[in-house]
């Protein structure tokens, strides 16, 4: 089966003719899985399968839909896994991307483009994007203290460091986020930090990073959330609370070899923080689809730069803040000097799920709890899983 032309085009055309006047334009997306492990059923229902069902529904209705996602190839989860397995990060990422892409095909997920973040379209788009954000006055440089492992000769960003959460005291918190209380963290906030590679206690070292000025966007983001009447109530409350606490500046760069090189002047040896580039994959995946799969480059502007396009994000609840505050903030900063027909459209809606439970523990890829999507298909037929997962969707 041709993955990119999965749905029945003839039937779709008939429906389009019937409903041409009300036809809407949609970008449907599902969260990008890290390539450090095979997705589990919780990842599948939370984003991939729900998005697939929705995209199929829209196509049946006759709407114009582009449905994209991809593998999150960069960042510390992949770099840590590669180091532990003694292979290069690129080798690990490309191997696992192939496996995941093939599994989504087996699950009949009707992506128009399932790509990855280590492709040239994404890398170029991301670098140009951040140069524009900098030109528009949203990037500043700062010297900061960070953790460094002498034993591994390595700075320890994000998941290269583990320790106790300063908020909920969970002992399995990581340098970027606590899975238990969902709070975003920085490595220095962890109590009793340990290097994730060798387990030694790191030392503190000074380094320079480039920061995104979110405080400057605070009011605009508050307006965006307040004026959006359709986002789910739980997401609205979470976002407004977070805005009330104050949105801090966030470092765009990392001292990490595996990633997209930061495009800023004198930022040699820095890469862009994986979250800040993978989220742009929603945009670049449509660009790549238009240019390389459809071979109609104008389709990119047609979807992403039309103010009436509806973009929807199917995500786990731990990603709400990132999709409704961080991502729109980046888009606003990029859009600032653009004419109306060149602005990227802001998020229309998110659909988030609670965590799927496995017996009494939540499914977790990083902790190895749950049923994996490759094993599931050996246990029961596809339609059994597709029905049961949608039926039991944890909302």
Q: Which residues bind Zn ion (CB under 5 A)?
A: 149, 151-152, 165, 167-168, 170, 178, 180-181, 195, 197-198
Minimum CB separation of residue 243 from Zn ion in Å reads 20
128 vs 171, beta carbon nearer Zn ion: 171
Give the nearer residue to Zn ion in terms of CB position, either 165 or 212. Answer: 165
| CB-neighbour burial class of residue 233 (10 A; exposed 0-12, middle 13-18, buried 19+) | exposed
In the complex, minimum distance from the CB of residue 178 to Zn ion, in angstroms, rounded to a whole number: 3
Closest approach of Zn ion to the CB of residue 320, in Å: 16
- Between 166 and 261, whose beta carbon lies closer to Zn ion? 166
Could you give the CA distance from residue 303 to residue 294 in angstroms, rounded to a whole number?
13
Residue pair 353/394 in contact by the 8 Å Cβ criterion: yes
Q: How far is the CB of 183 from Zn ion (least distance, A)?
A: 5
CB of 167 to Zn ion, least distance (A): 5
Q: How far is CA 394 from the centre of its chain?
A: 20
Q: CB-wise, 170 or 337, nearer to Zn ion?
A: 170
> 10 Å Cβ neighbour count for 308?
8
Q: Which is nearer to Zn ion, 181 or 377 (CB)?
A: 181
- The Cα–Cα gap between 5 and 9 comes to 8
Nearer to Zn ion, 113 or 177 (CB): 177
Handedness of CA 283, 287, 288, 294 (dihedral sign): positive
Bridge pairing between strands 271-272 and 253-254: antiparallel
3-state secondary structure 255-270: CCCCCCECCCCCCCCC
Of 78, 68, 73, the closest CA to residue 48 belongs to: 68
In the bound complex, what is the minimum distance in angstroms from residue 152's beta carbon to Zn ion?
4
Separation between Cα atoms, residue 49 and residue 333, nearest integer Å: 32
């Amino acid at each position: 089966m041709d993955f990119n032309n999965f749905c029945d085009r003839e039937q779709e055309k008939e429906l389009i003719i019937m409903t041409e006047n009300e036809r809407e334009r949609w970008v449907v997306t599902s969260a990008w899985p890290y390539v450090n492990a095979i997705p589990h059923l919780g990842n599948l229902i939370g984003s991939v399968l729900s998005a697939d069902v929705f995209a199929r529904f829209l196509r049946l209705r006759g709407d114009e839909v582009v449905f994209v996602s991809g593998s999150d190839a960069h960042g510390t989860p992949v770099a840590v896994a590669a180091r532990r397995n003694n292979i290069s990060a690129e080798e690990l990422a490309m191997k696992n991307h192939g496996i995941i892409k093939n599994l989504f095909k087996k699950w009949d997920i009707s992506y128009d483009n399932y790509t990855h973040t280590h492709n040239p379209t994404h890398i170029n788009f991301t670098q140009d994007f951040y140069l524009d954000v900098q030109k528009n006055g949203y990037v500043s440089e700062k010297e900061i203290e960070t953790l460094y492992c002498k034993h591994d000769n390595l700075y320890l960003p994000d998941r290269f460091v583990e320790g106790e959460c300063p908020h909920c005291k969970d002992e399995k918190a990581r340098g970027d986020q606590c899975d238990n209380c969902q709070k975003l963290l920085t490595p220095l906030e962890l109590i009793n930090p340990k290097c994730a590679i060798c387990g030694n206690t790191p030392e503190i070292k000074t380094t320079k990073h480039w920061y995104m000025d979110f405080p400057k966007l605070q009011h605009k983001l508050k307006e965006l959330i307040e004026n959006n009447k359709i986002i789910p109530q739980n997401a609205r409350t979470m976002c407004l609370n977070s805005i009330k606490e104050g949105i801090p500046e966030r470092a765009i760069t990392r001292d990490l070899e595996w990633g997209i090189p930061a495009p800023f002047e004198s930022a040699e040896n820095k890469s862009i923080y994986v979250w800040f580039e993978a989220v742009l994959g929603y945009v670049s995946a449509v660009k790549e689809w238009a240019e390389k799969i459809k071979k109609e480059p104008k389709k990119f502007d047609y979807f992403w730069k039309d103010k009436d396009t509806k973009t929807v994000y199917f995500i786990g609840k731990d990603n709400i803040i990132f999709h409704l505050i961080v991502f729109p903030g980046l888009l606003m900063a990029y859009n600032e000097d653009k004419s109306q027909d060149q602005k990227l459209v802001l998020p229309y809606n998110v659909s988030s799920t609670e965590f799927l439970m496995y017996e009494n523990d939540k499914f977790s890829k990083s902790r190895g709890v749950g049923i994996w999507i490759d094993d599931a298909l050996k246990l029961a037929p596809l339609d059994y899983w597709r029905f049961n997962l949608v039926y039991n969707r944890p909302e």
